[in-house]
């Protein structure tokens, strides 16, 4: 089981960034943000249906056979890819194979403080706030005295909010960094409310807002990174992004588990709530100081308005530095 789990992780490390960047080839460039949101929406629609189907299948043929059936269903995906009309795919600029591509990707990200901020927010929230398999099990068993069926229902209700967040993000043609920061702060607040709910019904109701803010943050972050990254760098940047997103959750899981066991089930959610609020506030304060960000609150129209009066276009600046470095590397070769 450990070997198969390790193999699945290795395959996912290749599959996830490739699958996410492939979305760019399926739609015109102006529709990329919407496509990323719809991709997340379809994923969460499957999360709504999947637990119920899996439960019926387990009762029908047993747990082990469910894994085999799940593996066989990938044949449909493979066939769909094989029959896809490649001539209708959008052209995406590809980087030539050469040495130092990983270093180029890291160098590019280092020159983009906005992408670094997105990665920091997502990795912190994922590490301490997205361990729902563990925290929901603790809440269901310890706090509410519920069984496996009610635990499965928690995931489905959480996915309802996630589906709403993904659909909202899909409506936006141009994702903004402020949406990522705002959604991270909202996730922290809503998860704090959820953790404090006194009974199972109210906990389920509060989890809808948690799912909504969680997927709004993740979908907006994904779309922001993809749409603001140069096409020839998109694969490498998304690989770094996926590494932080998927790798930070298992790193934070032992911390969350220790808190749940020694402090209490509610605090296993609370630690993620505090971390999400802290990172959202810290990143906003950093932006105000370094990007000359102005935050204005409209009382009659209750929204926050962000403006960047003197902000340097870090994206163009990073691209110019990267191009200059590539020219320098090429000219230095014999």
Instruction: Tell me if residue 229 falls in helix, strand or coil.
Output: coil
204 domain-assigned:
yes
103 domain-assigned:
no
Sign of CA dihedral 201, 202, 204, 208: positive
Q: Which of 3-7, 11-15, 34-38 has the highest mean pLDDT?
A: 3-7
309 domain-assigned:
yes
Residue 200 has pLDDT above 80, yes or no: yes
Residue 220 has pLDDT above 60, yes or no: yes
Please state the rounded mean pLDDT for residues 78-98. Answer: 81
Per-residue pLDDT tens over the stretch 158-171: 877 877 776 776 67
Domain extent, residue 189, equals 2-86+108-293+303-330
Q: Residue 232 and residue 237: Cα distance in Å, rounded? A: 10
- pLDDT, residue 103, reads 82
Please state the rounded mean pLDDT for residues 186-207. Answer: 93
Percent of the chain past pLDDT 90, that is, above it, reads 22
Count: domains in the chain: 1
- pLDDT, residue 218, reads 85
153 domain-assigned:
yes
100 domain-assigned:
no
Per-residue pLDDT tens over the stretch 267-324: 999 999 999 999 999 998 888 887 765 555 555 554 545 555 444 444 444 444 444 4
Can you give the pTM of this predicted structure? 0.74
- pLDDT, residue 51, reads 66
- pLDDT, residue 291, reads 74
Nearest to 255 by CA among 120, 121, 130: 130
288 domain-assigned:
yes
99 domain-assigned:
no
- As to burial, measured by CB atoms within 10 angstroms (0-12 exposed, 13-18 middle, 19+ buried), residue 69 is exposed
Dihedral of CA atoms 234, 238, 241, 247 in degrees, nearest 10, equals -160
Look up the CATH number of the domain holding residue 30.
Answer: 1.20.1250.20
126 domain-assigned:
yes
- b (16+ CB within 10 A) / e for 292-331: ebeeeeeeeeeeeebeeeeeeebeeebbeebeebeeeeee
Classify residue 91 by its DSSP letter. P
Nearest to 150 by CA among 200, 194, 192, 210: 200
Q: Residue 69 and residue 54: Cα distance in Å, rounded? A: 10
Query: Which residues neighbour 67 within 8 Å (Cβ) at sequence distance 6 or greater?
Result: none
- Residue 104 in contact with residue 239, Cβ under 8 Å? no
Q: Residue 36 and residue 198: Cα distance in Å, rounded? A: 36
């Amino acid at each position: 089981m450990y070997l198969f789990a390790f193999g699945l992780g290795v395959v996912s490390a290749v599959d996830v960034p490739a699958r996410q960047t492939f979305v760019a080839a399926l739609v015109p460039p102006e529709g990329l943000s919407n496509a990323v949101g719809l991709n997340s929406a379809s994923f969460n629609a499957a999360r709504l249906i999947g637990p119920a189907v899996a439960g019926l299948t387990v009762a029908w043929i047993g747990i082990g056979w469910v894994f085999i059936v799940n593996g066989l269903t990938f044949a449909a995906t493979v066939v769909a890819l094989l029959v896809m009309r490649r001539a209708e795919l959008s052209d995406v600029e590809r980087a030539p194979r050469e040495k130092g591509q990983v270093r180029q990707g890291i160098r590019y990200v280092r020159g983009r403080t906005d992408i670094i901020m997105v990665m920091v927010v997502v990795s912190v929230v994922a590490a301490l706030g997205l361990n729902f398999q563990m925290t929901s099990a603790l809440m269901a068993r310890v706090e509410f005295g519920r069984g496996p069926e009610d635990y499965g229902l928690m995931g489905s209700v959480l996915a309802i909010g996630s589906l709403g967040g993904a659909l909202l993000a899909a409506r936006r043609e141009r994702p903004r960094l402020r949406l990522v920061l705002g959604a991270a702060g909202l996730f922290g607040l809503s998860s704090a409310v959820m953790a404090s709910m006194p009974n199972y019904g109210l906990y389920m109701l509060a989890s809808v807002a948690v799912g909504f803010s969680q997927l709004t943050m993740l979908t907006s972050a994904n779309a922001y990174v993809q749409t603001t990254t140069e096409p020839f760098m998109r694969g490498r940047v998304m690989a770094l992004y996926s590494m932080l997103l998927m790798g930070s959750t298992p790193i934070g899981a032992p911390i969350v588990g220790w808190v749940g066991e020694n402090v209490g089930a509610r605090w296993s959610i609370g630690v993620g709530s505090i971390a999400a609020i802290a990172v959202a506030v810290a990143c906003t304060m950093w932006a105000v100081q370094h990007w000359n960000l102005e935050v204005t609150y409209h009382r009659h129209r209750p929204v926050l308005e962000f403006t960047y009066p003197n902000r340097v276009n870090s994206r163009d600046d990073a691209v110019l530095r990267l191009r200059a470095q590539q020219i320098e590397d090429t000219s230095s070769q014999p």
